[in-house]
Chains A and B, each alone.
Chain A
């Protein structure tokens, strides 16, 4: 994995972590004790949309640079990170079954 691809994955992963951390629906559905004091997320809808588009930007940059294999690694790694972030933020270790 080249440095560019690694940076792309880290940037998108970081932005996803931010989005997940302040995801309004996730915050609404957490147990009462875990909700933020004022009960509202830090980011407004506009900021969330901007962050959402920014998540895609590193992949687009890799595509423009012609690194198609990098785009694939970035897409796969970002999707995997998104799932991991959702699970980690959930914080519940109980098994599915």
Chain B
């Protein structure tokens, strides 16, 4: 991650950006995965047995987090990574509140 920070953002504040990226990849990605899981219970179709919306988000939760984590690590533009993950969190947060 250090090398990616240096390559894309210069040498001015790589440590701060590293922490910011760590924050996004770790706790924020986890929070977003949780919101996605909870939100999906509301917007996923329940299917013929009426349980798909309850079960699929729980089953896919580890994959959701891993995808968000790797995306947060690999996206060169940290701002865009925050925007994408933040949008996902916000949309599902709104779904949960409405």
A–B contact via C-beta, under 8 angstroms: no
B-binding residues in A (CB < 8 A): none
